[in-house]
Structure 1
Amino acid sequence: MVLDDWIEALQTELGLDVDVDVRALLDVARVAAHAVDRPAAPLTTFLIGYAAARADAPDVGELCRRAATLAEAWRPGTG
């Protein structure tokens, strides 16, 4: 699959050795794009990655669930 090859190449380029939950990240990106605003998709996944990097024992799936829940309930001006 092209996407899997890209993820592997990008991890090598960036010096990363992590398991990527591609489905969870794509799902939360979709929710953020539709419920908030299209540019929210890449920014949401970036912030999830940043939060995971800062955590002692990151659970990316849980971070994705939390972000998706927030996005689904999002109304402009509720931040």
Structure 2
Amino acid sequence: MNVLSEWTALACKELGVDPASVDRDLILELTKEVAHGVARPAAPLTAYLLGLAQGSGTAPEDAVERITTLARNWERATTETLTDG
């Protein structure tokens, strides 16, 4: 077992989360898109926000898809937001 797998298993146990419910690769891909498309510090913040969204009832796959799209279109999204005001 590698360090990431061990960490995931232990963190899930500590938090009372079913490890089978964690799609590690999906989360890592999302944070990679955000880190490269927006800013590196936005990646862990995004992971936290994803957890909040899931806790509020948003399906994780839907949230990941929406945030990935936002990160991939970050420059256009910010340009549109800044010129709308």
The separation in 2 between residues aligned to 1:40 and 1:24, in whole angstroms, is 16
2:72 partner letter: E
Query: Where is the helix percentage greater, Structure 1 or Structure 2?
Result: 2
User: Which of structures 1 and 2 has the bigger CA Rg?
Assistant: 2
* Aligned alpha-carbon RMSD (Å): 1.7
Q: For 1:71, give the aligned amino acid.
A: A
Corresponding residue of 2:71: 71
Residue matched to 1:3: 4
Q: Looking at both structures, which has the greater relative contact order when contacts are Cα pairs under 8 Å and sequence separation is at least 6?
A: 1
Matched, 1:12 2:17: no
How far is 1:34 from its partner?
0.6
Tell me how far 1:59 sits from its aligned partner.
Answer: 2.3
Unaligned runs of 5+ in 1: none
Q: TM-score, normalised by structure 2?
A: 0.80
Q: TM-score, normalised by structure 1?
A: 0.85
Query: Identity percentage over the alignment?
Result: 38
